[in-house]
Amino acid sequence: MASLFQQSMPSTGPGYSFASAPTHHSSSGPRQHAFYPYTDNGGSTLGISGATFTILAGDTRSTSGYNINSRYAPKLFRIGGDGPENEGARIVLSVVGFAADGNALKERLDTMVKMYRYQHGKEISVHACAQRLSHILYGKRFFPYYVTAILGGLDDEGKGALYSYDPVGSYEREQCRAAGAASSLIMPFLDNQVNLKNQYDPASGEGLEKVMRVPEPLPQETVEQLVRDAFTSAVERHIEVGDGLQMMIITKEGVQETFTPLKKD
C-alpha cells in the first residue's frame, strides 16, 4: 500500500510557466500503463485425499509485501450448499495467490454450482465441477486469475477426490498437492510422506535389490497430523505463512471445519 504514494508527480502539472512547459508529447509509440493489476497476498494451501475423505487446508494470513493485512483471511470456501454460509455443501475450493481474483473465482464457481442444481435438480458431481472450474480459468487465458486452485470433494464412488490447477486451467486429479508461497517447502514433504517417494522396504536387500514402498490411502488421523506438521514447519521457514490453520474435511457426513492457531511472528 505504501507504493500508492511513492509515485513521482506528473511533469506537466501546474508550476511551469507556459513558455517552459513541455508543449508536445513525444509520439514514440503508445504510452505504457503504469498500473499493474496483480498482487501477491502470500499464504499456502494444501490438499490430501484419502479412501473416504478429502482434507483441504490453508493458513489464514493475508500479506502485502512485508505487511500483514489480516491474521484471519480464509482461503478455503464451501462451494454450493444453501444460504449465506453455504450449509450442506460437499465441495470445497481453496485458492492462493492474488486474493481478489481468488474471491472472484470462488464467487463464479459457487454461482455456477448453484445454477447447476436449479437447472438439473441434482447436486453437481466433483468431476463435473472440476471440469467447469478449468473452463472458468481458461476463459480468462489472456488475463488470468492469478491463483492456484485446489478443489476437493468425494467422487461418485465415495472416494476422496482432489483436483489441482494452474492459473489458466490446466488440471489433474491427484493424491495430494501443496500450493502457494510455501508449496516448495511442503510438496517434497508430502511426496515423501503420502506418496512414499524415496522410501524403501527396510526388509528388502541392498542396491538394486531395494524395493520401493507402495503408497496406500492413509487414515484420516494420520493425514490431519501430516497437514498440521506441514504447516508448523512451513511457518518456521516462510514469512508469508502463519497466524492460523484452517482445515476442511469432506466426508460422506458433510464438511467439517477446524481451526488451529499457528505462530503469529
11, 20, 34, 206: residue in contact with another protein (rule CB under 8 A): 34
Residue closer to another protein, measured from CB, 99 or 248: 99
68/75 Cα distance (integer angstroms): 15
Instruction: Assess 98 for contact with another protein (CB under 8 A).
Output: yes
CB of 43 to another protein, least distance (A): 11
CB of 48 to another protein, least distance (A): 27
**Residue 211 grid cell:** 524395493
Instruction: Assess 104 for contact with another protein (CB under 8 A).
Output: yes
**Residue 201 grid cell:** 522396504
Which part of the chain contacts another protein (CB under 8 A), choosing from 34-42, 129-137, 159-167, 174-182?
34-42
CB of 148 to another protein, least distance (A): 17
User: Measured over all CA atoms, what is the biggest interatomic distance in the chain, rounded to whole angstroms?
Assistant: 89
Question: Containing H/E element for 179?
Answer: strand 176-180
Instruction: Find out whether 112 and 136 touch, Cβ atoms under 8 Å.
Output: yes
**Residue 243 grid cell:** 497466524
Instruction: Assess 208 for contact with another protein (CB under 8 A).
Output: no
Q: Which residues contact 3 (CB under 8 A, 6 or more apart)?
A: none
CB of 4 to another protein, least distance (A): 6
**Residue 71 grid cell:** 491474521
Which part of the chain contacts another protein (CB under 8 A), choosing from 1-9, 128-136, 188-196, 226-234?
1-9
Instruction: Assess 203 for contact with another protein (CB under 8 A).
Output: no
Rg, Å, the chain Cα set: 23
Instruction: Sketch the per residue contact string, 152 through 191, with another protein: x for CB under 8 A, - otherwise.
Output: ----------------------------------------
CB of 145 to another protein, least distance (A): 10
31/155 Cα distance (integer angstroms): 51
Q: What are phi and psi of 191, to 5 degrees?
A: -55, -45
H helices then E strands: how many in the chain?
4, 12
CB of 181 to another protein, least distance (A): 16
CB of 98 to another protein, least distance (A): 8
Q: What are phi and psi of 64, to 5 degrees?
A: -140, 115
Positions touching another protein (CB under 8 A) are: 1-2, 4-5, 7-10, 13, 27, 30-31, 33-35, 37-39, 41, 62, 64, 67, 69-73, 98-100, 103-104, 143
